[in-house]
Amino acid sequence: MSEQNSIDEQSKNHSLDDYRKGAGEEMTTNDGQKINSTDDSLKAGGRGPTLLEDFHFQEKLSTFDRERIPERVVHARGSGAHGYFQPYESMAKLTKAKFLADPATKTPVFVRFSVVAGSRGSADSVRDVRGFSVKFYTEEGNYDIVGNNIPVFFIQDAIKFPDLVHAVKPEPDNEMPQASTAHPSFWDFISLIPESMHMIMWLLSDRALPLNFSTMQGFGVHTFRWVNAEGKSRFVKYHWKPLVGVHSNVFDEAQKIAGKDPDFHRRTLWDSIEMGNYPEYELGVQIIEEEDELKFDFDILDSTKLIPEEIVPVQPIGKMVLNRNPDNFFAETEQVAFRPSNIVSGIDFSDDPLLQGRLMSYHDTQLHRLGSPNFAQLPINRPVCPFSNNNQDGRMQMEIKTSRVNYSPNSLGGNLPAPVAEADGGFVHHPERVEGHKVRERSPSFADHFSQATLFWNSLSAGEQDRLVEAAHFELGKVPHLEIKQRMLDRFNKVDGELAKRVAKGLGMPAPTEPATPNHGQKSAALSQAHTTKTAKGRKVAILAADGVNAAQFSMIKQSLSALHISSEVVSLFGGSIVNTEGGKIEVDKTFLTTASVLYDAIYVPGGEQSIEALIAHGDPLSFIHEAFKHFKPMAATGEGVDLISQADLKGIDFGNVNGKMSSQLGVIVSRDPADMATFTTTFVDAIKEHRFWTRPVPGTASVKAAAARMVSQKQQVKS
């Protein structure tokens, strides 16, 4: 068996077999003693006191009392998945990292996605930065890319990280609000830290509301080094790009998802993998030659800056596929320990001061959370390659070492384990020349805090800009302190004068009196989601139906969607099953009480006179359709289903000319006589690929009230 095959075989389930014990047939104590009862403690008589000698009771309760460990201070709420990474071609010219040298090599990975601000119990869909961290189990040891879904960060120096996190977390006097930046302490801090302005623009944008983890970009944030076998060093930036495109929720939708299904992202990731719709990401790199380090008008060591792809293109180098859910959330997703300091030969660090602080802080965090320096021996953290050193003892020591020596050098143990020469794979830091006086200061090259914030603003589509402004209205509208809001308006004025005026108007405040900083007019297409990949794979459609649904129309759409890896669920008035026009039974997946339109990407209403009459009489389906339309989602209806959609008051859609022909308007596809269901289905799928139809007029209060009035009238008619 080849060395690579051996590694693949050893790590295919990653955790070693000895650690992967599931539920056995017989209940025992931790030491293996069989238990005859676990429902009653041992007592002196049926009503007497519990006896101290009840070892099973002691073990069961004491284990329960200690089953929680400290949650992460940030990134506490996470979701994980196993998979693999495979390079497209050899990167040996750029790095001696072996897992990047052979396109035939599949390296096992574990990925953890997370929110930053919220606790373990917070909702998935809140406005927040998302963690995107990847652990590679390579033949040379573990390598971690510990990143986010935004390419820049709030601060330039790690010493400010405690201040940032204290400001973003619930306020200490009342422990509110949870998982939210819309409160005074956060904006007070931000308004006093101009270096954060670029990150704030990303936080207020759609990027802070990802549709799901499969449609979310990831970034290494920092500048790292790649070193090849000849010792040549280059700088590198990491980009993870989802193959299905980058998409987001709208804020109203995200807020409602938090109430309807706080586990929405976690559930979507789990279900996608279970269904075989594996999330896929392409890893790309930006390579900067050492001699070009200082050629930019920003510092590549500044984590509040990105390198526009128009200046340094992103080179795709491989693909990551997530194809297996964890077997146990705590053992894997909760105990996985990521550290930027986990690297392999061929990869090294830059002098980025934020990265330098993380190299120490992440290791220190794992020591605290997991309680021992032996956390690397946990199955989810354990490398797939051999490991050996003179570290010993401590909590959670899982190795039974048999050598009599635990020091180096030694002669009693053959001087083993012995250091490894660089030529044989021993890690050697890049011999970068460093010199300077000991000072507490920031490099002047880090001083520009607004140019890239302006670049980001200029790069957004008009709709993306509108939603960013609305986010600023919401966030700062939660701040009662005029002086904080005024400072933020002054910051926006340095990004773009019109942006500052629009934010001021929404806050009911005068625009800044100081002249705005001139807008440089530069753009980067890669920063807007308007140019993303369009695919329907992995999307989820709600099919609204009741008894009497048209059998042919329902079956055609259901089968066509499934063939394209688009999942669908039948949403009806009651649980159980419904009967179609041919007498066949259709299982109901959800009811209007147990689900909502915000949990789907599109809606389809098949015909069937009896089915549509029942849906119209109930009223909730109209709200379901209206809300999906308000969130710009594609929807379709055939036959009598058009009657239901037309009553939802979809502003801007003309149903008057819909006779036998198919009509497609602003992502609403309808046909009263669907003779050609194949063409109809293709048109609907094309609409799903678009994800959203941003040019729709957003329904106003008047139209919502009108729809509500019609539903009340219809219910009264049914009762009479």
Q: Which residues are catalytic?
A: 75, 148
The 10 Å Cβ neighbour count of residue 98 is 19
Distance in angstroms (rounded) separating the CA atoms of residues 506 and 467: 12
Phi, psi of 143, rounded to the nearest 5 degrees: -125, 125
Contact 130, 216 (CB under 8 A): yes
CB 100 within 8 A of CB 317: yes
Question: Please, are residues 110 and 379 in contact by the beta-carbon 8 Å criterion?
Answer: no
Task: Report DSSP state, residue 423.
Answer: G
Count other Cβ atoms within 10 Å, centred on residue 329: 14
- Rounded-to-integer distance, Cα 281 and Cα 239, Å: 9
- Asked whether 346 and 95 are in contact (CB, 8 A), the reply is yes
Q: What is the pairing mode between strands 130-138 and 141-148?
A: antiparallel
For residue 144, what are its two tokens? 């971690």
- Alpha helices for 349-415 (secondary structure H): 353-370
Long-range contacts of 227-230 (CB under 8 A, 24+ apart): 227/95, 227/96, 227/346, 227/347, 227/348, 227/430, 228/92, 228/93, 228/94, 228/95, 228/96, 228/346, 229/92, 229/96
The pair of structure tokens assigned to 353 is: 């001061």
Tokens of 468: 């960013």
| E-assigned strand segments in 627-698 | 635-638, 663-665, 668-671
The one-letter amino acid at 303:
S
**E strand or H helix at 287, and its extent?**
strand 280-289
Surface-to-core class of residue 411, CB atoms within 10 Å of its CB (0-12 exposed, 13-18 middle, 19+ buried): exposed
Spatial distance between the Cα atoms of 182 and 180, rounded to a whole number of angstroms: 5
Residue 166, SS3 per DSSP: helix
Distance of CA 296 to the CA centre of its chain: 31
- Closest CA relative to residue 75, chosen from 334, 325, 285, 270: 334
Q: Residue 563 corresponds to which tokens in the numbers above?
A: 């063939």
Which of 629, 634, 649, 631 has the alpha carbon at shortest distance from 711? 649
- List 602's β-bridge partners, or say none: 541
| Structure token pair of residue 358 | 């993380």
Pairing of strands 107-115, 567-572: unpaired
Cβ 139 vs Cβ 223: under 8 Å: no
Instruction: Retrieve residue 631's tokens.
Output: 């969130």
3-state secondary structure of 289: strand
Spatial CB neighbours of 371, under 8 Å, sequence gap ≥ 6: 69, 395, 396
**Scanning the structure block, which residue is given the tokens 């008619």?**
717
The Cα 328–Cα 417 span in angstroms is 34
